[in-house]
Structure 1
Amino acid sequence: MFNLKYVLVLLLISGIIISGGIFFVLSNQDVEKNVVFIKVWEKEKNILHLPLYVAMQEGYFAEQGIKVQLLNGSDLAAKDLYAGDLADILLTDPVDCIYHQSVNQSAPLIVASLAHRDGTFILAREKETISWEGLRNKNIICYPPETGPGLVMEKIIRNNGMVPMRDLCLYNRIPDELRLGVFKSGSGSYIQLSGTQALIAEENGAGHIIASLGESANSFPSVLCTVKPEVISTRTDSVQGFVNGIYKAQLWMQHEPQITARAIKTHLGDLDQKILNQILQKYLTMKMWTPDPQIDEQTFNDIKQLMLTTGQLDVPVTYTYETAVNNSYACQAVKTIQYTPKDEQGKSWFREIFD
């Protein structure tokens, strides 16, 4: 009798395992058939895009039935991005995005903020405590105003009661590859550099980081997720799944910062690990990837008004926040995606039954 019970138990367990295996295989096959491919364009690999890389690495897009194909500047000519179906989603800065919206009614719509702060820094030749008012009558090597970092510089200068080119001089037409060399040669009192460039320059003795524009400018998104209107109208579920994946990555990064390591190794592995760790900590401190993918109306209007002031937009501007931004996907993601504490993530349905 004992042996019979023992055999029956083994048969029952074996049946469960085999049935589970068959179900798993069939389910995976069904999932593979229903996977939707989304082409996402980024100008270049950038640590500011980290939530995207984390979502890919950790399978957050796969959970939504999405497989992301990354395209970059070497894959597509910028002039082709807004035509045809070369890319579904574009990662861009707000200046480029709003400009294209102003000249093209069918330009991509903003659906989420990927990075919420500017990622550049001010480098000085000597260590000093920066006072923005103290930059009056100085020369700064910076980015052009038709770029996100350039417009942030304009914003900070104007917020501190100064007018560019009147109260201080901005060298904003130096080619990017020559800027640091020009600074090293003695031109400019300060230089504005991207995060990794600034840290590498400081490491090599070219100067000292004295300010973060992301902290000084506060809310000024550096990377937006934009989607073509035709993709929104025909593949709305896929767009929602993409934004869900981005938001989940932003949310999980706040609770489990260690998950960034795998994404960094896969997507940014050619950069110096020490520099990456340093810039990662700086960005986390300034709340670069706070889990809130929505773009608020005040931020959008402030950027648009600043672009008008600096001559980046033709007047009159006919489009509005309501026509340029679609926050419905971000709002839905915030409502439906909730963080699960790490000690509960591994619980299976079997364990939960007996807890």
Structure 2
Amino acid sequence: MFRRRWSVIVTGLLILCLIIPACSPSSMQETAKVRIGEVTRSVFYAPQYAAITKGYFQEQGLDVELTTTPGGDKTMTALLSGGIDIALVGSETSIYVQQQGSGDPVVNFAQMTQTDGTFLVSRNKVEGPFDWSSLKGTTFLGQRKGGMPQMAGEFALRKNGIDPHKDLNLIQNIDYANIATAFASGTGEYVQLYEPTATVFEQEGKGYVIASFGVESGKLPYTVFMAKKSFIDKNGVTIEKFTNALQKAQNWVQTASIEEIADSIASYFPDTKKEVIMGSVQRYRDQGSFATDGIVDEAEWNNLLDIMQGAGELQQRADYKTLVNNEFAQKAKESVK
């Protein structure tokens, strides 16, 4: 009888030993699903893809669902309608929402890129130093009116003595997804392109990168993770975890080799050669496009407002404290290594 009782006790203890680890805080951590809508698929967003593939979101207990919603208007519509929780898009979209009188502002909480990501591509090779004045009188295939690429492009052109609406034959009526195809088909002498398309065009002899709009327009909150204020207020813990994962990816992208970064994001560009991805990452990192942390600096915010004002897209200066929340990014910068 004693042996039988002792056997039962031992068996019970063994079962408890198996149960207790399974019930530890780390294993009981609830997984929160987060739906992200990115404005486009681009090597420009390498830290985001790295955060997913390297498991940084998963480490924070987040199940991330990523959808590409082409264009700032579509991305913001998805966010406002509840189709996504977090948008990766230009900060100008949050300002447009505010200008329309929204009672639930869209708040920028983690910056990912800090320069424009487009390049000036010429159909023909340019011998010697590029002279911006050579653009006068040419046909320029630009971006959508009111979008950040076009506004930053116009800012850079004006900075270099070019009035885009007087000195150029400016084409803006082609959908974003078809701009590269239109140029490759013979439309325009110059075009504004993101990577990796710019590098692909160079390798195929379809165009040549002659200037960077990112360098010319300076630092600004170009692509930022944002959410409705109501969502942030209700899901502060999730936003904190999200920003921590992003910060870890931002740290890694600054120190990893270009090949390592390319390998980590290659699955998001299945039709792009590895060397093209590497060249694109190298170009963006060299010019400081990847933000080193999620903090949206006020000086960068003011540069954005200046650019929007110059493009005639700003009704009034948007309040930094209303549309920017650096609380989560500041904590992540201090704690995530």
Task: Tell me the equivalent position of 2:114.
Answer: 116
Q: In the alignment, what sits opposite 1:6? A: none
Cα offsets for 1:279-311 (capped at 9, x unmatched): 111112112224122111122122223323323
Any stretches of 5+ residues in structure 2 without a counterpart?
1-14
Q: Which residue of 2 aligns with 1:189?
A: 189
What's the counterpart of residue 8 of structure 1? none
Query: What is the Cα deviation at residue 85 of structure 1?
Result: 3.3
Deviation of residue 327 (structure 1)?
1.1
Match in the other structure for 1:296: 297
Q: State the match for 2:33 in structure 1.
A: 37
Q: Distance in 1 between matches of 2:90 and 2:291?
A: 17
Q: Determine if contact 1:54/1:259 at 8 Å carries over to the other structure.
A: no
Deviation at 1:239, TM superposition (A): 0.6
- Asked whether 1:243 is paired with 2:243, we answer yes
**Does the CA contact (< 8 Å) of 2:44 and 2:281 recur in 1?**
no
Specify the code of the residue in structure 2 equivalent to 1:269: P
2:324 is matched with 325
Cα pair distance change 1:236/1:40, threshold 3 Å:
same
Q: When the two structures are superposed, what TM-score results if normalisation uses the length of structure 1?
A: 0.79
The answer as to whether partners of 1:43 and 1:73 remain within 8 angstroms in 2 is yes
Pair 1:214 & 2:210 matched: no
Determine if contact 1:152/1:220 at 8 Å carries over to the other structure: no
Q: What SS does structure 2 have at the residue aligned with 1:82?
A: helix
Decide which of 66, 69, 92 is 2:89's aligned counterpart: 92
| 1:50 corresponding residue in structure 2 | 46
1:155-212 C-alpha deviation (Å, 9 max, x unpaired): 1012223322123332222334554455456553311112122222222221222112
Partner of 1:102 in structure 2?
99
Corresponding residue of 1:351: none
Higher mean displacement: 327-336 or 44-53: 44-53
Q: CA deviation at 1:316?
A: 4.2
Mapped partners of 1:309, 1:62: distance in 2: 42
- Is 1:281 matched up with 2:282? yes
Moved more, 47-56 or 81-90: 81-90
TM-score, reference length from structure 2:
0.83
Residue 24 of structure 1 and its aligned partner are, at CA, apart by 4.9
Change over 3 Å in CA distance of 1:329–1:312 after alignment to 2: same
Q: Is the 8 A contact 2:51 2:248 kept in 1?
A: yes
Q: CA deviation digits over 1:50-71, x for unaligned, max 9?
A: 2122112222223323222223
Q: Residues 185, 263 of structure 1: CA spacing in aligned structure 2 closer, same or farther, 3 A cutoff? A: closer
Which residue matches 1:126?
Answer: 124
Contact 1:142-1:171 within 8 A present in 2 as well: yes
Counterparts in 2 of 1:228 and 1:31: CA distance versus 1, 3 Å = farther
Residue in structure 2 matched with residue 341 of structure 1 by the alignment: none
Distance, in Å, in 2 between the alignment partners of 1:151 and 1:142 is: 10
CA–CA distance in 2 between the matches of 1:336 and 1:217? 31
1:255 equivalent in structure 2: 255
Q: Which residue of 2 aligns with 1:264?
A: 265
1:20–1:281 CA distance, 2 compared to 1 (3 A): farther
**Residue correspondence of structure 1 range 14-25 to structure 2 within 5 A:** 24-25=21-22
- How far, CA to CA, are the matches of 1:79 and 1:286 in structure 2? 28
Task: Give distance in 1, aligned partners of 2:32 and 2:174.
Answer: 43
Shift of 1:214: 1.6
| Corresponding letter in the other structure for 1:268 | F
| Deviation of 1:47 (Å) | 1.8
In 2: Cα distance, 1:192 partner to 1:232 partner: 35
Equivalent position SS for 2:288:
coil
| Whole-angstrom CA distance in 1 between matches of 2:270 and 2:19 | 38
Number of residue pairs aligned between Structure 1 and Structure 2: 317
- CA drift of 1:84 comes to 4.5
Q: Report if aligned partners of 1:82, 1:107 keep a CA contact under 8 Å in 2.
A: no
Name the SS of the counterpart of 1:31 in structure 2: coil
- Cα distance in 1 for partners of 2:21, 2:252 equals 26
What secondary structure is seen at the aligned counterpart in 1 of 2:67? Answer: strand
Match for residue 4 of structure 2?
Answer: none
- Secondary structure, counterpart of 2:65 in structure 1: strand
Please name the residue that 1:232 is paired with.
232
Partners of 2:283 and 2:29 in 1: how far apart?
42
Distance 1:316 1:63 in 2: 41
Q: State whether residues 108 and 229 of structure 1, in contact with CA within 8 Å, keep that contact through their aligned partners in structure 2.
A: yes
Q: Distance in 2 between matches of 1:150 and 1:232?
A: 30
Query: Which amino acid counterpart does residue 204 of structure 2 have in structure 1?
Result: N
Letter of the 1:98 counterpart: I
Are residue 311 (structure 1) and residue 308 (structure 2) matched?
no
Which amino acid in structure 2 is aligned with residue 58 of structure 1?
Answer: K
Question: Retained in 2: the 8 A contact 1:54–1:263?
Answer: yes
On the 8 A contact 2:37/2:75 being kept in 1, the answer is no
1:251 is paired with a residue of what secondary structure? helix
Letter in 2 for 1:60: Y
Return 5+ residue gaps in structure 1 as ranges: 1-17, 339-355
RMSD between superposed Cα atoms in Å? 2.8
1:80 Cα shift? Answer: 4.4
Query: How far is 1:46 from its partner?
Result: 2.2
